[in-house]
Amino acid sequence: IGSFRMNHLHPPFNDVRVRRAVMMALSQEDYMTALVGNDRALWRPLPGFFTPDTPLYTEEGGDILKGPRNIDAARALLREAGYT
């Protein structure tokens, strides 16, 4: 992210717990299917924040996007951050 500072994010996303909760709850595969459709030639389920095969693509930090979603853990993080 370079010189971008996380404290410039707007609530609730200025709280790392909220950002982690979103990543724990969302399914990249569901999102891409809704956005692009079922044609797997148009997308791949890879744990990254940037488009594959582009200079910025990396799976570094993408572990939270792998595996099954954990809605209960995401809810717990949101409660811890003060959200219901």
Query: Nearest 10 degrees: CA dihedral of 33, 35, 40, 46?
Result: -80
The pLDDT of residue 49 is: 79
pLDDT tens-digit map of 47-84: 787 888 899 989 888 888 888 899 999 999 999 999 98
Spatial separation of the C-alpha atoms in residues 23 and 61, rounded to whole Å: 11
How many helices (H) does the chain have, and how many strands (E)? 3, 0
Least confident span in 11-15, 33-37, 63-67, 74-78: 63-67
pTM exceeds 0.85 for this model: no
Mean pLDDT, to the nearest integer, of 6-21? 89
**Residue 62 and residue 50 in contact, taking contact as beta carbons nearer than 8 Å:** no
